[in-house]
Amino acid sequence: MVGEPVELVVRQAPGDEMTPYERLLGDAIRGDATLFVRQDSVEAAWSVVDPLLGIAMPVHEYESNTWGPAEADQIFAGDGGWHNPELVQQTTKGAAR
């Protein structure tokens, strides 16, 4: 193994440059609300999310490298069911022979 010379360039940001968090805090102190969301927008977003947080969903274990638990098939039962792409590919390959 043989190495080769490489030029290394080091750059340092100026000391007066603020980090994003420092800028955000500075904007808050100055009253600049440009990067902040209004309270009514936050409340509207939470009105959508909050009811979902109270729903307790069961956790179903399943084998790794599979398409999920058998219980997940019930979600798609009314829409024609779940079609496993791997099985479709294997069937198609087998039919082409």
Which range of 11-20, 59-68, 84-93 scores highest in mean pLDDT? It is 59-68
**Domain segments of the chain as ranges:** 15-57, 62-97
Confidence bin at 88 (pLDDT 50/70/90): low
b/e for 36-50, b at 16 or more Cβ within 10 A? eeeeeeeeeeeeeee
pTM of the model: 0.37
Question: pLDDT tens, 43-70?
Answer: 999 999 999 888 888 889 999 988 888 8
Helices (H), the chain: 20-30, 39-53, 73-76, 85-96
- What would the DSSP string read from start to end of 52-78? HHT--PPP----TTSS--GGGHHHHGG
